Amino acid sequence: MIGWLLVWPNFSGPARINNLWQPTTAENKTGESAPQDKLPKTEEQPAATKIQTNQNLPEKMLLVVPFLSQAPFANWDALHEDACEEASLIMLKYFLAGEMTIDKELGEQEIQALVKYERENGYGESITLAELAETAKEYYGLKNPRVEKKITAEKIKRELVNGRPVIIPAAGKLLANPNFKNDGPVYHMLLIKGYDETGFITNDPGTRKGEDFRYSFENILEANHNWNKKNILNGEAVYLVFD
């Protein structure tokens, strides 16, 4: 995995490993309404799917993930109103490629191409996290997507500390974002890239002001619902990362 991570730990300084900034262990010290740690393998669970729980968490940290609005040129037509999933995936793809910025024109082209691919392959206007993971594998060739359940703030923090941005689906009207129109979308998706003492730091593609937008830990957990056609509030709490 290639990317950048900034930490402000309250223990000894960070260690740089293959362009990834990570804190050392204790021993080593976004409408407006778009080398992980090597663990020993076991038969029960491959190393790539383990979440470390034996390391101290820094008080705050931030992955450097480039931002893309789901409407790069503020054209909030029907396509772009529903492009939060695509924009979130594009941001994560650029992060994995080690890119620091996303050109608006290229971002718009990628959103259009992803939507076209999804339509041609039978996906609806809104898609689940599992469908997004499948799209990432089939369209972009991204490897090792993992949809995680039983969500807690600590689990998300540990993913981030291990260099993995987190894509979260949400009941958009539960998100405390004053930049949304009409109280926000029914269904939304965004990318978590860091946290501090006040909450999670995100790239929220649903607004042009979504870069570094902060949500409280409680608000993210409350709003975390996967797509459910009948009732978004019945959607399961899940997130997506790539190992």
C-alpha–C-alpha distance, residues 215 and 212, integer Å: 10
Provide the percentage of residues in the chain whose pLDDT is more than 90: 76
Domain contains 36: no
Residue 122, Ramachandran bin (φ over 0: left; ψ between -120 and 50: alpha; else beta) = left
32 lies in a domain?
Answer: no
Asked, for residue 46, whether it belongs to a domain, the answer is: no
Q: Between vectors from CA 222 to CA 163 and to CA 37, what angle results, nearest 5°?
A: 15
Is a pLDDT exceeding 70 seen at residue 19?
Answer: no
pTM: 0.80
Tens digit of each residue's pLDDT (9 = 90 or more) over 28-56: 333 444 333 333 333 333 333 444 554 68
Q: What is the mean pLDDT of residues 153-167?
A: 98
Query: Residue 2 has what DSSP assignment?
Result: B
User: The domain containing residue 70 runs over which residues?
Assistant: 5-23+52-242
Supply the CATH number for residue 9's domain.
3.90.70.10
30 in any annotated domain: no
- The count of structural domains within the chain is 1
